[in-house]
Chain A
Amino acid sequence: MSAASHLGHVQQLVLQASRRRAVHHRVLRFDSREGGIRCLGQLLSQLTFGPDRQTCDKVDCALGLSFRGLEALEVPPAYLGLFRRLAPAFAAGAVPRAAARLGDTGPSAATRWEPAFAHRDAHALVTLHGKPTALSQAVEALDRLIASIDGVASQGEGMGGAHLGAPPGYEGGPREHWVHFGYRDGLSRPCIKGLLSDDVAAARAHELHEPGELLLGEARDLGDNPWALPSAPQEVRAFFRHGSFAAMRRIAQDERSFRKALARWAEYIAGDAGRQTDAAWREPLEDFIRAKLCGRWPDGQPVKPEHLPCERPPVMRKPPPMPDFATQDPDGHGCPFGAHIRRMNPQGHGVALSVRPRPLFRRGMPYGPWYCERDADVPRGLLGLFFCSDIEDQFEHLLGEWADRMPMGFTGAGDAKDPLIGAHEDPRATFVVPRPKLASTPTGAPWALDRFEPFVTTLGTLYAFYPSRLALETIINRTWKREEEPWLVR
């Protein structure tokens, strides 16, 4: 590992995904400032800071504060004003922005979100990662801590999740990271420069970003540094420096309707190829469609122009990274333009990303068991946690724009939203799958998959600020810089 000692005061979860198996998220409400500050004071010693100091038996703890939480802690107006100006999405909160910026309407509308995401009452998000046994002890300790402090309460229910492990039919065992709908997870891992050792960094060069994409007060990929705050006093700059923002998003995944749709589309493509009755086609074909919707096969390997509907490529334990679409798959014959990963990471299109990279540092984990007919109704989905330095340009842009309509520069046909996470409304909207290039299937018009329904429902989103240790100490000790202006306005 490279010396990242200057990041020792940054919360670990901001810098890297936890390697632990299970997670517990708890939203807190501060009914009094004193209670909130006491709670923070007690949590401080349990938070995990700095990169990569994970030991096997420990539970890692991270703490984010919502804007309402900062208000409840009576952070001075001048500091809040800076958030309002430079991080308007965070200051506004996810609830009022959900319909316009995140596509959350209908069953996903913010009016129906779980109580944990209540606009005014969700003040802090405590995230614990650990082995299941250690984690449950830590959760009990957290409960005791909350109970022991006046003016602090849990808001809504705690939310637990755990890595799924490989699904039936795939090797790899329980340590593997997969998500519902049956895809291997954690394949794209954007990281900031200066955190990885040189050889690892060289291998992952395509995923490296300037620190400013994740941490405040550093230069971003474009070279600009919106949180430089040149006219602010040193104490103020230090408060914001190396903080980060996250969007915590809980979604429910409707595996049953997803599988039903897969079967319907498989029937359509098999029928088109004259193979309706060919049982040998059925299963590989559903995997083929799964691959097209996501842009990767379930095991994570990229879907290539020469891959055929009727044969699954050999399963890989360590799938290669995504190819450069512009050179290797310019027409979407492998990974369709509308596919989930091509939208979320439109590399190689020279337009959407060369203008403004929008990396999201994902720290999410699934919840609920793998789907089977017997317990089809058991809640399952994703506890997403997405870090970035700019919620509107990174998180909201991906969900509200790229998941909603194809990113700038895309030339492919089809008007469906992101097939996996889109809030589908129009049953006539299509996801277009060009025929494989070397297809033995008859040539002709591309396959158009339609009648999409929302396979995911948003249960809530919370925007949180992850302060550095120094910023947390400022909040706890109330060592604010009291003189206002002129740093407020410039």
Chain B
Amino acid sequence: MLGNLLDDDNLRPAFLRRLRKAGHKLWPFQSADHPDNDPAPAYDAPPKTGARTAWLVTDRDLILEVLRNPHDFESAPYAPIGGNRFMLAMDSVSADGAHERQRRAVDALLKQYGCLALAKVGDEAVRQAEVAALQQDCFDLADFSALAALRFCQLWFGFGADDLRLLRAAALDGYAALVHQIVGRHASADDTVLPQARRSMALLTRRADELLTEYRKLAWQGSRHAPGQLVERRRRLAWPEGVDPPDEWNLSDMGDPLLKRMALAPGDFTTPELASIAVGLIVGTIGNVQSACCRLLARWMRDARTFGEVVAEARAGTAGDAFAQRVIEDLASNPPVVMLPRRAKVATKLGDQTIDPGADLLLWLAAAEGQGQPQGGCPRDGLAFGGIGLGGTPGTQPDKDHACLGQGPARTVIIAILRRVLQLPGLAEVIDPVTGLPEGLSQRWGFACTGYPLRHQRKKRLAQQPLNVMMRVKAPVDEHAQALQRVIAAGAPRIERALQKSSHVHFAWFELIDQGRMLVLHTVYDGNFDDYVQHFALAVDDLFDRLFEHIEDAPPLPVAEHPGAFVNVIRAHHQPQLAGYFFSAYPGAEVRDVTRLNRGQP
């Protein structure tokens, strides 16, 4: 029941209105979850049955009371995710002060990074994500922002590019587990979430541990191998295998990456402790960056005027940076973290209710928005999400502890991602072909974004497109392959003229591969596929007629009479480039620009 009310984007606001109208500051609900301190109870132990009372807290003052009283309300619900070493699960009042020690260490580390240096890492991360993820018109902002945030963590922490897989699994599975522990477990059973997260996080922790050891070792011995190598190679050998030196991406401003700094100044932490601190930071960041980006953009998209303004700000560059300021302000009033879990340690009076020991509380921060303070005044506990500091209202709580004048690294990467996305040409929401409505933001519990389909005009970012048409040569292959050679050699001047006249084709060549069994036509052209292919169907139609005599699965001939079928055959035989990757040194230039420059014209 509560699951539906909190998860459904249509029911949730109505539910909240009803709670408010009825004056419920604390609402008891039946939770399906039974917290257990024993992760593997004996098989013959009787199972815990029935529902359990938990509390939904929607009142701002009560939320503050709970958050400020760690003696009576603990963060134990996080513990099943990463075990008792997981930073989020530790309470600041724990007997040995472990949480405080970790928190201080992390704060000190983060303070070492300058704002501008991190912004550069953010821009580079977005650029790298773009190369892989924006090869098509359509993309999913949830995927793109997660990828950019992962790249950011990879570069900033000093992981290798191959570690991206581990980072992604740990971050996304970990975030799913956080969401599950915060709210999902009260509504439904999902025994896969926690083990999956624990495994993925353990794999990343192991890798982080390896890298910490490697960084320390390299600091002692200087390089992985004996000297005598070329300078370029020696430079790489001073870094763990697979890790790019930051200066390779022009990121030397940031100094040493986080893992290296941890390794060289471990304080009184062991290497495994450092590794799990690092993983805790990452897990707490990615999902929130993803949600923050999706929620902000969806909000801006709703209103044409706002959207126009943010696009103009994003395009205006970093001078003055009205855009960054807007992101910070809008994040404060529309934060990605809308719910937090706590558990009562002892019987405690809260409002006019008594909370039993062991009872779970679900603090619905978003519900408390607008109460008390004019704008988003509700503090989110600073370390609740990795301590990287998504921050609340600028200038108020938890950011005062963080470096970067209150702009946490997570914000930096959010700003970088949104700036780039808003600069994309032709940015629009993908529309559902049946309903005609935007597919829109998919989110769980009103905050965990799982998808936001968008589209842009890729051809405006990269004018040129490759075409690789692979067609099977008829048998006997030798005979037909030779005939093809002759046809192309004889027709070359005409092909040349048609290509030149089109002023749309950069390069074109034919190739016989697989011992003459396949004819491949490669071209790189500008603009619209149909336009281009139709042009050739009609400009050198007889040449294609002769080529197709030697090809299997030829379209109906003559080509000139069936231009539509010709276009379809070419499309069907086009082999897209691997992973959608295509490099161009001059992505914005069309043939007419290149030829004009070549002739020395402006």
Contact = CB atoms under 8 A, between A and B. Distances in A.
Given A224-B563, A410-B503, A119 B436 contact: yes
Given A106-B428, A425-B311, 8 more contacts: A107-B307, A111-B301, A222-B563, A352-B531, A355-B539, A404-B457, A425-B426, A426-B425
16 contacts: A95-B431, A99-B429, A106-B304, A106-B308, A109-B428, A110-B431, A112-B304, A119-B435, A120-B435, A355-B539, A401-B527, A408-B504, A408-B532, A409-B504, A425-B426, A427-B315
A426 B461 CA distance: 12
Nearest to A111: B438
A404 B590 CA distance: 14
A223 B538 CA distance: 12
B436 A445 contact: no
Contacts of A111: 301, 429, 431, 437-438
A103 B431 contact: no
A106 B307 contact: yes
Interface in A376-416: 397, 401, 404-406, 408-413, 415
B429 A351 contact: no
Contacts of B299: none
B308 A107 contact: yes
A99 B527 contact: no
Task: Report, nearest first, the 10 A-B pairs whose CB atoms are least far apart.
Answer: A119-B436, A99-B428, A95-B436, A105-B428, A107-B304, A96-B433, A96-B431, A355-B535, A445-B602, A355-B538
Contact of B535 (A96, A99, A397, A408): A408
B563 A410 contact: no
A350 interface: yes
Interface of A: 92-93, 95-96, 98-100, 103-107, 109-112, 118-120, 222-224, 226, 350-352, 354-356, 397, 401, 404-406, 408-413, 415, 423, 425-427, 445-446
A288 B504 CA distance: 31
Looking at chain A's contact residues, the main secondary structure is loop
Contacts, number: 114
Contacts of A93: 433, 436
B562 A224 contact: yes
Contact of B503 (A92, A98, A99, A409): A409
Contacts of A412: 592
Contact of B592 (A98, A397, A401, A406): A406
B568 interface: no
A401 B531 contact: yes
Interface residues of B, number: 47
B431 A411 contact: no
A408 B538 CA distance: 14
Interface of B: 137, 301, 304, 307-308, 311, 315, 425-433, 435-438, 455, 457, 459, 501-504, 527-528, 531-532, 534-535, 538-539, 561-564, 588, 590, 592-593, 595-596, 601-602
B561 A223 contact: yes
Contacts of A226: 564
A140 B233 CA distance: 84
A349 to B, nearest CB: 9
A109 B601 CA distance: 37
Nearest to A118: B436
A411 B596 contact: yes
A326 to B, nearest CB: 12
A410 B531 CA distance: 13
A196 B328 CA distance: 65
Given A107-B304, A222-B563, A408-B504, A401 B528 contact: yes
Contacts of B601: 413
A252 to B, nearest CB: 12
A111 B595 CA distance: 40
Given A106-B311, A109-B428, A109-B429, A351 B436 contact: no
A260 to B, nearest CB: 16
A424 to B, nearest CB: 11
Nearest to A105: B428
Nearest to B593: A413
